[in-house]
Amino acid sequence: MAIANSEDGAVEQHDDLTIRLDAGGWGWTWSADDDGRLHQVGLGPSGADAALDVDAIWYPDAHPTWGGPDPVRPPALRITHADGTTTTRLRLHGVERESGPDNDDEIVRIVTTDEVFAFRAKFCARTHRASGVLEQWIEVDHEEDGPVTLWDYDSIAPAFLIGPEARVTQFGGAGWADEWAWTTEQLTPGTKVLDSLGGVQPHLQRSPVLMIEPNGPADEASGEVIGCSILWGGNTRFAADVRPRSGEQARDLRLRVGANPLGAHYVLDPGRTFTSPVVAWTWANGRQELTDRFHAWTRARVLRDPDRTRPIVANNWESTFFDFDEQRIVGLIDRAADVGADLFLLDDGWFGTSSPRDDDDAGLGDWEPDRRKLPGGLAPLIDAAVDRGIRFGIWVEPEMVNPDSDLFREHPDWVIRDRREPREHRNQFALDPLVDEVRDFEVAVFDRVLAGASGTSYVKWDANRPVTDPGSRALRNDRQSNSWVDWVHATWEVMERVAAAHPDVELMLCASGGGRTDHGTLRWFHEFWTSDNTDPVTRVRMQWSCGHWFPASAMAAHVTAWGGRPLPFACAVALSGRFGFDLDLAALDEADTAVCSRSVAVARRTQDLVQHGRLRRLVSPVADGDRSRAALAYIDPASDRAVVFCYQIEDSAAPPPDLLIDGLDDATNYDVTITDLTTNPRPVGRLSGAELGDGALVWDLTRATTAQVIEVSAARVVHRT
């Protein structure tokens, strides 16, 4: 398709000026006006069938540009053209449709070109109708006389009519150890910007997901809910621009979503293509549907090996930090095997030769075992694990370097920096993935570590600092601001190469906790470390928020001593995620060891449900709930089995909530057992699905930091052991 408009400026190469997109249960319609400018004619549950009641020109812009028809509202695409012109006016040029990767799916590219410049923007969409999650992004290229600069490059910019009670929910707290904090507030006139910075671990500040209730409060079962996720391992931005409508209660909302362009204007040379992050979004009826859709789509399009049940991991970080030797680790491996874990994960501190990693101020970059701590290297540890019938995993932070390391002494020019002296953060620098040798080095870290640790089948990939001195020697002086976008693609290239080279190795994604928890980066991983904050009281709420978007198979949850909570409660909280331990198992007394073993037994019976079943939220510990209690269930697709987790988080004077375990088969009888993990599960009888859905089980917790795990199986189903 030619990039220029036809000579007389008329729109060409499209048969129909109306473009419809069926996203699976919802969709949108765009239509071009007589000048070829695109307008959003429909959006929402029947958005793909919208009829034009009036001429297209009366509908909102489909994707506003700076200099477009509306001079008083912010643009989603803002560019300085090669000759200095700051306005962009796009016309429909054509529509490309091709079959998508799955049956019934399609990829649509709506091609537009500027009225005057040889500049092209494609509005792209890929459906996943089986789930109802739609992926959208933009692609920009040009053949102008010199580079153009992209100042704003949002991936989507839908327009909504919202009610006066419309609300937005964001997920972000104070930063490290405070991920996934839930905040719901009303959408009032003005522009609300919800963004993140820092480049490497921006999601520590704010998870790149957002929920909007355009007509006011929704609940699990009903009410419109729009959910968006930005697939971007870099800085992100949601901007909600709300305008009153004269004399009406309804308001206009323009939601712009994409990479955060702050400090990141992109200088694009002729002939090159700029591709924005994918934004995945849906328009659901109730929060349950939003979660069903995101879980189905995450399993289908994001997670590696989605059907593989994740191992029960025992990690040593919280029990040893950097202070261990071979004997200590072998002891922990033994104890991990004793309680029934599947895999031992050796965390930070095992490497560094001339600059041993005894603390976080040395050794990063030198990926050879520290022979003072581990005289025989990693092999004796792996042998110990194999002897005890469990797997071995290891921690690396391949993108980072301590100044006190051989790597830095050899390659001081490999770090991310501008002309100033770079600043240390956690005593380390980030390596610059735009330097070719750096990417090769990072890939080779895995080859080397895994070759030296034969039998290792799991790696935790960490990244523990943000970018503070943005710049790259791989970019020209006038392209430095491109680094924020280019780094993400370069890092993803490394991840892709590693995943391809080691297809059998399970990868955990970590960045000081949940600093990289986005659906884009997760494509090369099996799971993520949800947060360094493992206080189970906080974790109930974090996992509640995170579980709206990600299935529990991806959400690592380890039992630790954080917060000094009762061990049975900590175990019960971790059991509703991808279960594991980060405890000094060797120091536990008999009673606590029994709690751990009992919890492993519960995990063995329930982890397929937790990881692959349907999540149902029963009692909310956030926002609309009374915050003192939580309950959630996972139900298998055939409704034969379920596991319910009840948490009394705090003391509460509020009356106990109803425990309505719906989603089971009304006519089926289920055997029910209950445990608080201090004793083995005790049978409480046989109840029908209808009875369970009608509150036959009552809330039975009163004391703070106590929990119950309720297992439900259809009378004919035999428990797995």
Closest C-alpha to 215, from 243, 238, 186: 186
As measured in angstroms, the least distance from the Cβ of 356 to ligand GLA is 14
104 - beta bridge partners?
none
As measured in angstroms, the least distance from the Cβ of 467 to ligand GLA is 17
> Is 4 or 181 the residue whose CB approaches ligand GLA more closely?
181
Structure tokens at 568: 């049975």
CA atoms of 617 and 622, how far apart (whole Å): 12
CA atoms of 309 and 325, how far apart (whole Å): 31
> Is 341 or 633 the residue whose CB approaches ligand GLA more closely?
341
As measured in angstroms, the least distance from the Cβ of 468 to ligand GLA is 17
> Is 126 or 558 the residue whose CB approaches ligand GLA more closely?
558
Structure tokens at 570: 């900590």
Structure tokens at 41: 């004619």
> Is 278 or 445 the residue whose CB approaches ligand GLA more closely?
445
| Residue 152 φ/ψ, nearest 5 degrees | -130, 135
As measured in angstroms, the least distance from the Cβ of 434 to ligand GLA is 24
> Is 342 or 462 the residue whose CB approaches ligand GLA more closely?
462
- Count of CB atoms within 10 A of residue 47's CB? 20
Instruction: Order the strands of the 190-195 sheet from edge to edge.
Output: 159-162, 251-259, 236-244, 190-195
Burial of 624 (0-12, 13-18, 19+ CB in 10 A): exposed
The residues, ordered by sequence, that sit 6+ positions from 246 with a Cβ below 8 Å of its Cβ are: none
As measured in angstroms, the least distance from the Cβ of 425 to ligand GLA is 12
| b/e sequence 546-582, b meaning 16+ C-beta within 10 Å | bbbbbbbbbbbbbbbbbeebbbbbbbbbbbbbbbbbb
| Residue 658 φ/ψ, nearest 5 degrees | -70, 140
As measured in angstroms, the least distance from the Cβ of 322 to ligand GLA is 8
As measured in angstroms, the least distance from the Cβ of 514 to ligand GLA is 9
As measured in angstroms, the least distance from the Cβ of 12 to ligand GLA is 54
514 - beta bridge partners?
511
> Is 475 or 561 the residue whose CB approaches ligand GLA more closely?
561
Can you say how many angstroms the Cα of residue 586 is from the centroid of all Cα atoms in its chain?
34
Structure tokens at 318: 């919280």
Please give the residue ranges that form the binding site for ligand GLA (CB under 6 A): 317, 347-348, 395, 462, 464, 510, 512-513, 529, 532
Q: Helices in 371-452 by DSSP H: which ranges?
A: 379-387, 406-410, 436-451
Closest C-alpha to 82, from 141, 24, 3: 141
Contact in structure between 282 and 226 (CB atoms under 8 Å)? yes
As measured in angstroms, the least distance from the Cβ of 16 to ligand GLA is 52
Burial of 683 (0-12, 13-18, 19+ CB in 10 A): exposed
CA atoms of 534 and 570, how far apart (whole Å): 9
As measured in angstroms, the least distance from the Cβ of 573 to ligand GLA is 17
> Is 214 or 580 the residue whose CB approaches ligand GLA more closely?
580
| Residue 389 φ/ψ, nearest 5 degrees | 75, 25
As measured in angstroms, the least distance from the Cβ of 522 to ligand GLA is 16
CA atoms of 136 and 107, how far apart (whole Å): 10
Crossing angle for the helix pair 326-339 and 590-612, nearest 10 degrees?
Answer: 70
> Is 75 or 198 the residue whose CB approaches ligand GLA more closely?
198
> Is 259 or 556 the residue whose CB approaches ligand GLA more closely?
556
> Is 241 or 462 the residue whose CB approaches ligand GLA more closely?
462
> Is 181 or 684 the residue whose CB approaches ligand GLA more closely?
181
Q: Which residue is nearest to ligand GLA (CB)?
A: 348
> Is 239 or 510 the residue whose CB approaches ligand GLA more closely?
510
CA atoms of 146 and 85, how far apart (whole Å): 12
As measured in angstroms, the least distance from the Cβ of 224 to ligand GLA is 36
Q: Helices in 95-223 by DSSP H: which ranges?
A: none
